[in-house]
Copies of this chain bind each other. A is one copy, B any other.
Amino acid sequence: MSSLREQKIAKKKAEILRSAATVFAEKGYHGTTMEEVAAKLLMTKGSMYYYFKNKDDLLFHCNKMVMDISIQTIQDIIDSDQSPTEKLEKAIKAHIKFATSEKSMFMVMDKPNQNFLDDYLPEILELRSQYDKCFDQILVEGIEKDEFDKVDTKMIRMIILGALNWIQQWYKPEGQLSGEEISEAFAAYLLKMVDKPQN
């Protein structure tokens, strides 16, 4: 019916998720109160229950939003017409760009096991595993096309994603390192791991 109304609701939901992500990132899930999330939006906490079932639901949708975007981004890279080396580089840079420019959104995703009840956990874990597989795919392709050294793709993927995900722990938008600089350096150094030994 009223698509205008639906749009308004969607917008409001997005605003709430943004606010929630910010506070979650700062204080952690259990450390944030519904009141804090509401305060940023000049709302009362009660109002939020009109849009989201409960606090868990809020966290779940934060996670889902980030994962959906991330997977979409990397999937586009995979489907593109580039060499595995370029794909890996682009994927690393895309991840870092997102992680630094949307720091709070990204931080929310840490430790799903600690924050989620069993209702939401499986879907979140599934999305994660999907993202992991995208990286694996690029690595396997690189080895098959003989661009990469014959590495253990699982290990390399865990190293890469570890390094990338840890950025959230120390990156500060107001710090001296820009997302751009991190992006360039990380891509260059991480790619060295899959370089073929020259002889």
- Report chain B residues within 8 Å CB of A38: none
Hey, which chain B residues are within 8 Å of A192, CB to CB? 192-193, 195
Minimum distance in angstroms from A43 CB to a CB of chain B: 23
Contact of A111 among B28, B160, B190, B193 (CB under 8 A): B28
Contact A155 B185 (CB under 8 A): yes
The answer to whether A9 has its CB under 8 Å from any CB of chain B is no
Q: How far is the CB of A81 from chain B (nearest CB, A)?
A: 29
Q: Does A162 contact B (CB under 8 A)?
A: yes
Is A147 close to B, CB under 8 A? Answer: no
Q: Which residues of B contact A94 (CB under 8 A)?
A: none
Cβ of A164: which chain B residues have Cβ within 8 Å of it? 162
Is the beta-carbon distance between B151 and A158 smaller than 8 angstroms?
no
Q: Mark A95-120, 1 if CB is under 8 A from B, else 0.
A: 00000000000000011011100000
Q: List 5 A-B contacts (CB under 8 A).
A: A26-B114, A28-B29, A28-B30, A29-B30, A151-B189
